[in-house]
């Protein structure tokens, strides 16, 4: 599958590396493809990955992963042109300083992405755990839960498959409006990791009986 990963920071680099290792074609979208940082990332991945502008990356992709600061999402999507039919994985969290959500309660970043990328099939995923878990998810043989949500069943099935391929247990939380609770869940993870002192080696697991 051809996956455009927009953003080459903590989340983008971790997910791009894992999916390149799984055999997918990764096209990173970066503001500065020639930068030392981005070129070093490509060298360290070593295979199945290249970098272009965000607009070019999105144009040729089956799946687009949004892994930028929330403030960059709208201009990034605008650079992608017509995204009709494409699957967008929205991994962003609309955090302001102090873990305050810039949007929430009656809408969400995920729903806002869907409004900006008209016709695209948006799935919220990978927002509610740390980038370190994306790089190395499994805890003593146990796969963490990755909650996903979206309004398009086939897009969710594709994202669930991609999620499972890199070591998470995907759980379908429902329609895209469930991003309203998955985005605050990310705030809980960050609070536990960094304010409560548990550190980033923590992950959520859904139990069922």
Ligand X SMILES: NC(=O)c1ccc[n+]([C@@H]2O[C@H](COP(=O)([O-])OP(=O)(O)OC[C@H]3O[C@@H](n4cnc5c(N)ncnc54)[C@H](OP(=O)(O)O)[C@@H]3O)[C@@H](O)[C@H]2O)c1
Q: Given the rule CB under 6 A, which residues bind ligand X?
A: 7-12, 30-32, 38, 67-70, 72, 91-93, 95, 127, 130-131, 186
Of 12 and 137, the one with the shorter C-beta distance to ligand X is 12
Nearer to ligand X by Cβ, of 153 and 198: the residue is: 198
Q: Based on CB atoms, which residue is closest to ligand X, 41 or 160?
A: 41
Q: CB-based contacts of 148: which residues, under 8 Å, 6+ apart? A: 123, 124, 125, 156, 159, 160, 163, 170, 171, 172, 173
Q: Which long-range contacts (CB under 8 A, 24 or more apart) does 96-104 make?
A: 99/187, 99/190, 99/191, 101/183, 101/184, 101/187, 102/70, 104/180, 104/183, 104/184
What is the smallest separation between the CB atom of 104 and ligand X, expressed in angstroms?
A: 13
CB of 9 to ligand X, least distance (A): 2
Min dist. Cβ of residue 209 to ligand X (A): 29
In the complex, which residue's CB is closest to ligand X?
9
Minimum distance from CB of 129 to ligand X (Å)? 6
**C-alpha distance from residue 5 to each of 60, 73, 130, 150, 177 (Å):** 12, 13, 17, 19, 23
- Which is closer to ligand X, CB of 86 or CB of 124? 124
């Amino acid at each position: 599958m051809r996956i455009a990963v927009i953003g080459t920071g903590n989340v983008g680099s971790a997910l791009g590396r894992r999916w390149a290792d799984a055999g997918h074609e990764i096209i990173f979208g970066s503001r500065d493809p020639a930068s030392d940082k981005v070129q070093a990332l490509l060298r360290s991945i070593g295979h199945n990955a290249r970098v272009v502008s965000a607009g070019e990356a999105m144009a040729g992709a089956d799946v687009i992963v949004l892994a930028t600061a929330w403030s960059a999402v709208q201009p990034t999507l605008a650079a992608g042109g017509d995204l009709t039919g494409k699957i967008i994985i929205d991994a962003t969290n609309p955090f302001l300083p102090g873990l305050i959500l810039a949007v929430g309660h009656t809408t969400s970043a995920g729903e806002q992405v869907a409004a900006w990328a008209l016709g695209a099939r948006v799935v919220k995923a990978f927002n509610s755990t740390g980038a370190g878990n994306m790089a190395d998810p499994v805890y003593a043989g146990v796969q963490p839960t990755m909650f996903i949500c979206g309004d398009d069943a086939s897009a969710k099935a594709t994202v669930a498959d991609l999620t499972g391929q890199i070591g998470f247990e995907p759980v379908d939380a429902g329609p895209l409006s469930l991003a309203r609770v998955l985005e605050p869940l990310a705030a809980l993870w960050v609070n536990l990791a960094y304010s409560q002192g548990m550190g980033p080696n923590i992950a959520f697991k859904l139990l069922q009986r």
